[in-house]
Every structure is written in structure tokens, then in C-alpha cells.
Amino acid sequence: MSETILEKAEGRVSYHDSVEEMLKRIREDGMSNVFDRWTKQEKIRCKFCLQGLSCQLCSQGPCRLNDKGEPDKGVCGIGPDAMAMRNFLLKNIMGAGTYSHHAYEAFRTLKATGEGKTPFIIKDTNKLKWMCEKLGIDTNQEINQMAIQLAELLQRQQEIGEDDDNLMVEAFAPKKRKELWKKINVYPKGTIHEEQNCVASCLTNVDGSYKSLAAKALRLGIATIYNSQIGLEMVQDILFGTPMPHEVNVDLGIMDPDYVNVVFNGHQPWGGAATIQKAKLDEVQERARAAGAKGLHVVGSIETGQELLQRFQVDDVFVGLMGNWLSIEPLLATGTVDVLAMEENCSPPAIDHYAEKYQATLVSISTIIDLPGLEYKIPYYPEKVNEMADELINLAIENFKKRKGKVTPMVPKITQKAIAGFSTEAVLGALGNKLDPLVDVIAAGKIKGVVALANCSTLRNGPQDWNTVNLTKELIKKDILVVAGGCGNHALEVAGLCTLEAANDIAGEGLKEVCNLLKIPPVLSFGTCTDTGRISMLVTALADHLNVDVSDLPIAVTAPEWMEQKATIDGIFAVAYGAYTHLSPVPFMTGAPKLVKLLTEEVEGITGGKVALGDDPVEVANNIEAHIIDKRKKMGLS
């Protein structure tokens, strides 16, 4: 890693001062924490697992292969490249399954709303009509009936098999990509169908070809984006409004111990949106004041927080986003959380000790979340979300009564402003609803290119968010616009890069000029990891506008701190999409030389995309810039 960046990281666990401050309290209180657990685990890592050369699928294992010689095959006969790719594909299936689960919840919520069974309304009727037109649904009918039909069609599209047409890919994928995917036989069916095929292929003695397994991963990645992600995000826009830029507050300093605080953690907005609506009622705020609080606040945590942040104004009820998943334990240690309401993923299983120590109530508001110390389960059913909000508010007020005076709060006095709420529509709106201005500034070199950052947060390659923030700074210095989603996006918001000031303080002269002209930051907050599909919609619009393939554009994708299975499926989609895809840390497949060559070299001749590696932010930024300049030259740009 570059010397100056490495020096600044010395002795730290996080880029963020608020987390560093809270870790002192956590350690003084003797609490197990993610940062110290990482250090302990690092001492006992298995080299076979790190290389992708370990398999535990059948009773003849665990099998471990030696990348230097014998044994070079598992008991069943599988070789290192197929073993590593099969391990990787299994991770992709989990990521796709989580996205398709989120999509299922979105589609049934839209249907229930159309049937009048939820407290929600169809907020963006224009997007509803647009989606229906794209998918062949009659728009000359009542709005709610349209919503029901769209919800049913979108769920069917997740499930389609070999005999069905993929309407979502046809409607939203780039023209030239669709032709290529058919040619190389990775044009997908529905996400659930592809998940089933991939699961069956990973069974012992079914598919032992690393190339075949890699092709199945590409199909699954494409299906996940088009048949799950884009559908669910468009549905959330229909229900809560399409994101538009607005100023928000982030970091742990948003927590106020004198308020009843209901925190929503996960990836889905339903419970949070319903509770924000409910908490705006005078009677709810009065009940909180009667309990001795100044009122009741709703707080966003990780991706659920970002979903809410994208669509809701920060005000005296919804106060903002605390940060990403590695900040959850520090959040609880502030002693200000009354209810942590959790759905879908990223609810760490060791937080029961924090709930006990700092007097927080843990609540599952999902059919899939459970963990030690969980006190309450409120499974999500769209028609019961109003009652869910009531129950969460009741639990939070009761918890405040127990917490007040028993826990000494400690809140870092650090709050950061950010501009959130970007979408394809928002970008087009800033450009006068046409892409030509963006094309013009790219052609003139004021913006060299665009990098999509779709990312988690991990401790594997340095302190929390260190690589993400420093790589992004290097990119915007080079006049490269960054479009961000995921926990990495929260990192950039908390680090102050999603502000107009960042354009003037850090960005190169060309990007600075464009940002000041359009009144946009050099990093556009596009939302969550689920918004990978939304980011692809902007790139698709640009490719189709220029009548070129995605692989011809001066763009790249980076995941400088990928952590889990949703990241792997996003990454494999980016390769199928034709993008130069940087990953850090190195995936667990270094013991599989043929597979490594396929993903880092050979696949470029097949899809136009490839995997690029590297842990040094300066070096990675230089490599991305070189790739973008090469694409510019091939397009005849200076």
C-alpha cells in the first residue's frame, strides 16, 4: 500500500473517528467486538481455504488440494479450478437468494398496497405507468389494478424457466449485450430458476468443469440484476418515490440519548417507512414525551437506512443514517438505542451482549432473521406492517424508561452532511433530461470516465473503509466521476465525499468544473448494494444513446472492500455486463491457476469484461485510469 496512506492507517481499526472513539469504550467495557475478533481469527487462517482448495460437501471430505502437487484432486476426482469455482458459485447463490428474497417482499408489498391492505400508497404513479408500458401491461386502467398486475408479473419473472420469455432482460438490458449473451449462451431465465440450476450443479459429482460453473455464475448474475434487483428498486420507487438529491445527516453523532430511538437495520424499507409515517403523528410524539423523552426519532442503519435516506427528508423524526455494518456494535455502545429492528441481512450474531450491556431491545421484523438474545419476533406481512410499527414504537418507549438513568450515554460529537438520493432520473434531470451534456463533458475530457463503486466494508485489507475512501479520493482527483452503492457508499457519505465541498477540495479541475456547474458532488450516492441494478440502468442508457456496447465505454466497476455473498453476485454480473471489475481483497481462488486466468484474462475476449485485482488504492486508481484512457482512445476521444 502507498506509504503515506499506510502511515495514516497505522494503529487504526477504522477510517472514521467516531468508530475509533466508540471502540475505546467498547474495549474498556470488556466487550467482544468485530475488530478484535478479526485479529484473533487472522492468527489461525487456513491456507487451503484462502486459496479456494478446500471442500466439505460430502462425507469423504474435507478434501484439501495442494497447489504445488499431490494431492491435486479431491476424493471424487474434482480438480483445483473446478473446486474453487464451485465454492465461489455457492457464494453467488446465497447472494442471489438474498436479492430474490428482497424482491419477493417488494412485489408482495406492492400487490398488497394495490389491494388497499397496507398503510402505503402509490407515490410515483408515473414510474408505475412507465414500468407497465415497458412490460406490456395495459395502462388504461385504475392505478391500483395496474400495481397488482405489475407485482404479479414481476414475481412471475423471477420464476420463469426455459419455455418463458425474459421480459425484464428484454426491457432493461443494453441492446448489444442481449445479442452477445445469446451468442455465448449466458442469456438468463428467472433468478429462482437460475438459483435452482446452480444449486443442483454444485452437488457432488454433477458439474466438475470450471468453465461450465463459471458460465452458470454469469447467467445467475445477469438474472439477479434484471429479474430481482431492478424490479424491486423500481417497486420501492413506485411506493416511496423515485430518489432525488437532497441533503442528509450521517455518522454516529445523529444519535440523541434524550429521545426514544428506533433504529432500522438490514436492507428492506417496509418497517422503517411505516414507522416514520406513524412517528409523525402528534399522539406518538406526545407518548414519548410522557415517558420522559424529548420525542421519538427513527434512525437508519446500513442498507435499510440508505433506502430510507434515498427517499425521505431528514427532519425532526427521521434523523439520518448512522453508517455501515461495521459500525453496528459502536452504535449500540452509544447507549442510545431503544429498539434495533432487523430484517434481511447484516445483523451480527454477537450483538446480544451489547443489547444487555447498553439496554437495547432486539427485534426481528423479518421471516428470516434470528440471533442469540433476540427478544421479539414480528414477521413481516405487508397487511400487518401498521401493527408492526405500533409494536416497535411501544417497545421503544418502554425500553427508554428502562434505559434512562441506567446507561451512561456516550455519543461522538461527529455528524457529517451528505447529498443522497441520486437515480438515473435525478442524473438526467440535472442534465436537462438528455444525455448529451454528459457525453459532451466526457468527450471534452472534463470527466475522463465513470466508475461504479458497489461495495461492502471489510477488515481483510485494512481498517474499516480505508481502501474504499482512499481509492475514491484518488479517482476523483483524476477527474473520474464515482457512482456509489452499498456499505461502501455509506463509507463515502460519512467520509464527506458526497458533498459539493469535496468537489472543490479534492476533485480534479475538470470534474470540479462539472460538479460546480451541475451542483452535484464528485461521488453520487446511488443507494444500496441492491442499487447495482439502478447504476446499470444509467450505464445502459449511455450505451444505447451512443449505440455502442457497454464494454466500449470509458467506465469501470470497483469493489475495494467486498465482504460477502451479495458482493460476489454483483461482481460476477459486472464481468458479464462487460465491465473492468476491480476486486479487493483477492477472492479465495488463488490456488486455481486456470480459473484465475479465465477470470482475469480470457473472459475479456468473451464478455468484454474481466476481473482486476489490487489492494493499493493509488495503484488501483492508476490501473483504472489507464483502462479508461484506453477506452477513450478506442472511441476516438483525447
Residue ranges of the annotated binding site for [Ni-4Fe-4S] cluster are 267, 346, 456, 487, 529
E-assigned strands of 234-278? 246-250, 260-265
Residues 292-331: b if buried by 16+ CB within 10 A, e if exposed = ebebbbbbbbbbbbbbbbbbbebeebbbbbbbbbbbbbbb
Whether residue 382 has a cis bond before it, omega within 30° of 0? no
Instruction: Return the DSSP state at 226.
Output: I
Q: Show binding-site residues for [4Fe-4S] cluster.
A: 46, 55, 58, 63, 76
Beta-carbon contacts of 510 under 8 Å, excluding residues fewer than 6 positions away, are: 441, 444, 445, 446, 447, 448, 479
Whether residue 62 has a cis bond before it, omega within 30° of 0? yes
Please compute, for residue 410, the number of CA atoms within 13 A of its CA located in the half-sphere on the CB side. Answer: 16
Q: Show binding-site residues.
A: 46, 55, 58, 63, 76, 267, 346, 456, 487, 529
Nearest of 80, 18, 25 to residue 48 by alpha carbon:
80
Distance from C-alpha of 68 to C-alpha of 362, rounded to nearest angstrom: 49
Pairing of strands 246-250, 416-420: antiparallel
Nearest of 225, 224, 235, 236 to residue 132 by alpha carbon:
235
Tell the residue number behind the cell numbers 400508497, with chain if given: 121
Distance from C-alpha of 286 to C-alpha of 215, rounded to nearest angstrom: 58
Sign of the torsion angle spanned by Cα atoms 129, 132, 134, 139: negative
Task: Using alpha carbons only, give the angle 172, 178, 179 rounded to the nearest 5 degrees.
Answer: 155
Amino acid at 335: G
CA distances from 500 to 216, 440, 505, 523 (A): 42, 21, 9, 9
Distance from C-alpha of 334 to C-alpha of 258, rounded to nearest angstrom: 12
Radius of gyration of the chain (CA): 24
Beta-carbon contacts of 548 under 8 Å, excluding residues fewer than 6 positions away, are: 176, 635
